[in-house]
């Protein structure tokens, strides 16, 4: 790993704390993914889950994008489903589909049968990879992550990437305690998993609530927010930045901020300046270029990225990212130019 310069190593964490950095930091969700030829090469030999369970491969894949581009943080190569194995859930990950749960959860008995997650026992490979990465990355920060209770619950109940979440919402609205029991257990898992990642060396954490945007504000506040808030509250003492991300959350931004993160991640469906006004400028904001823009000719990519930067207005606390994960087949050259553009066009002239 080439040594990260002091400025590169600091700007992501500074922005998360809303301190002045030398320029706007950038990292990219799913930055270690299929658009990278080296990743595709490894995937010919190993499945996604094999890679995620082998510390040396996790380390290698996590490093790929930060070695290739001037990204300002690394994110652990893993998946939100990984800790569920420790709870006794069998699943596989299918290419172009995502996680498939062998026996979706539909009954109270299945919820009661879930085991308590224990990081050292259930995911030693993740903790080992984090320790290795801290050595390899030098001063460049490592982001750990977990799935938020609602997004994990929706995978567990639907059994696969949810379309309309009818089953999930049925269990949610049914009453009778099953929902809160399941969400409580998933919050416990997220807390234990994230705490273990911090102990192993993660320097920032992102909680992914990818499907939260499918809920009405009333349902979010009643059935999801208390559980997510408990996760953030349990981690606030860890002393590292906490990022709360979801998609399609334009109607939920105030509540996502209320859950207790330091930074809110937003997708492209809401202008970032409007989102920031709504969550309040005492929080940082992450986002929000539409990942599809990266397929356009460079001039369009540049115009769209500058629009995000202009809306963020060079204020302390903006972390540039895509609004959701980078898509397979994204032209690598546009990624490289985007990273360079974000840094160059926001660089502060030293006084």
Catalytic (active-site) positions: 30, 34, 43, 79, 155
Kindly tell me which residue out of 43, 68, 229, 311 binds ligand CP3, with binding defined by CB under 6 A.
Answer: 43
CB of 101 to ligand CP3, least distance (A): 11
| Minimum distance from residue 194 beta carbon to ligand CP3 (Å) | 13
266 lies in the binding site for ligand CP3 (CB under 6 A): no
Site for ligand CP3 in 204-233 (CB under 6 A): 208, 210
In the range 10-29, which residues lie near ligand CP3 by CB under 6 A?
29
Q: Are strands 91-94 and 98-101 parallel, antiparallel or unpaired?
A: antiparallel
Q: 28 with 326: CB under 8 angstroms?
A: yes
The site string for ligand CP3 over 167-196 (x = CB under 6 A, - otherwise) reads ------------------------------
Using rule CB under 6 A, residue 329 touches ligand CP3? no
Q: Output the CA torsion sign for 300, 302, 307, 308.
A: positive
Least distance in Å: CB of 30 to ligand CP3?
A: 4
Q: How far apart are CA 290 and CA 284, in angstroms?
A: 19
Torsion of CA 30, 202, 1, 35, to 10 degrees: 0
Binders of ligand CP3 in range 118-157 (CB under 6 A): 145
- 189-199 burial: b if 16+ Cβ within 10 Å, else e: bbbbbbbbbbe
Total residues binding ligand CP3 (CB under 6 A): 25
Work out whether 72 is an interface residue with ligand CP3 (CB under 6 A).
no
Give SS3 for 235. Answer: helix
In this chain, which of 85, 98, 108, 184 binds ligand CP3, going by CB under 6 A?
98
Q: Is 95 in the site for ligand CP3 (CB under 6 A)?
A: yes
> Are residues 93 and 79 in contact, defined by beta-carbon separation less than 8 angstroms?
yes
Write down the residue that tokens 């898992």 correspond to. Answer: 189
Cβ-contact 303, 324 below 8 angstroms = no
Which residues form the interface with ligand CP3 (CB under 6 A)?
29-34, 43, 48, 75, 77-80, 93, 95-99, 145, 161, 208, 210, 324-325
């Amino acid at each position: 790993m080439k040594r990260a310069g002091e400025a590169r190593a600091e700007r992501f964490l500074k922005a998360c704390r809303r301190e002045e950095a030398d320029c706007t930091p950038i990292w990219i969700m799913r930055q270690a993914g299929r658009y990278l030829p080296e990743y595709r090469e490894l995937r010919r030999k190993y499945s996604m889950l094999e890679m995620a369970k082998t510390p040396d491969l996790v380390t290698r894949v996590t490093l790929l994008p930060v070695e290739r581009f001037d990204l300002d943080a690394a994110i652990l190569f893993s998946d939100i489903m990984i800790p569920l194995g420790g709870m006794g859930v069998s699943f596989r990950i299918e290419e172009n589909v995502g996680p498939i749960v062998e026996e979706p959860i539909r009954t109270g008995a299945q919820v009661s049968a879930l085991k308590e997650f224990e990081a050292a026992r259930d995911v030693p490979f993740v903790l080992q990879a984090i320790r290795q990465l801290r050595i390899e990355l030098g001063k460049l920060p490592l982001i750990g992550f977990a799935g938020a209770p609602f997004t994990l619950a929706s995978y567990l109940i639907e059994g696969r990437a949810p379309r309309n979440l009818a089953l999930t919402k049925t269990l949610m609205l049914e009453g009778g305690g099953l929902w809160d029991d399941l969400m409580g257990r998933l919050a416990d898992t997220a807390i234990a998993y994230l705490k273990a990642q911090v102990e192993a060396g993660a320097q920032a954490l992102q909680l992914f609530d990818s499907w939260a945007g499918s809920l009405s504000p009333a349902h979010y506040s009643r059935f999801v927010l208390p559980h997510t808030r408990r996760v953030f509250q349990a981690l606030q003492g860890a002393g590292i930045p906490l990022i709360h991300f979801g998609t399609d959350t334009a109607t939920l931004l105030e509540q996502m901020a209320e859950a207790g993160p330091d930074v809110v991640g937003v997708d492209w469906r809401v202008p970032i300046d409007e989102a920031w006004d709504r969550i309040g400028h005492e929080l940082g904001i992450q986002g929000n270029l539409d990942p599809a823009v990266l397929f356009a000719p460079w001039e369009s990519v540049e115009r769209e990225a500058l629009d995000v930067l202009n809306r963020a207005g060079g204020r302390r606390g903006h972390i540039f990212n895509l609004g959701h994960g980078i898509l397979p087949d994204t032209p690598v050259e546009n990624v490289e130019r985007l990273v360079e553009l974000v840094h160059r066009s926001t660089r502060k002239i030293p006084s």
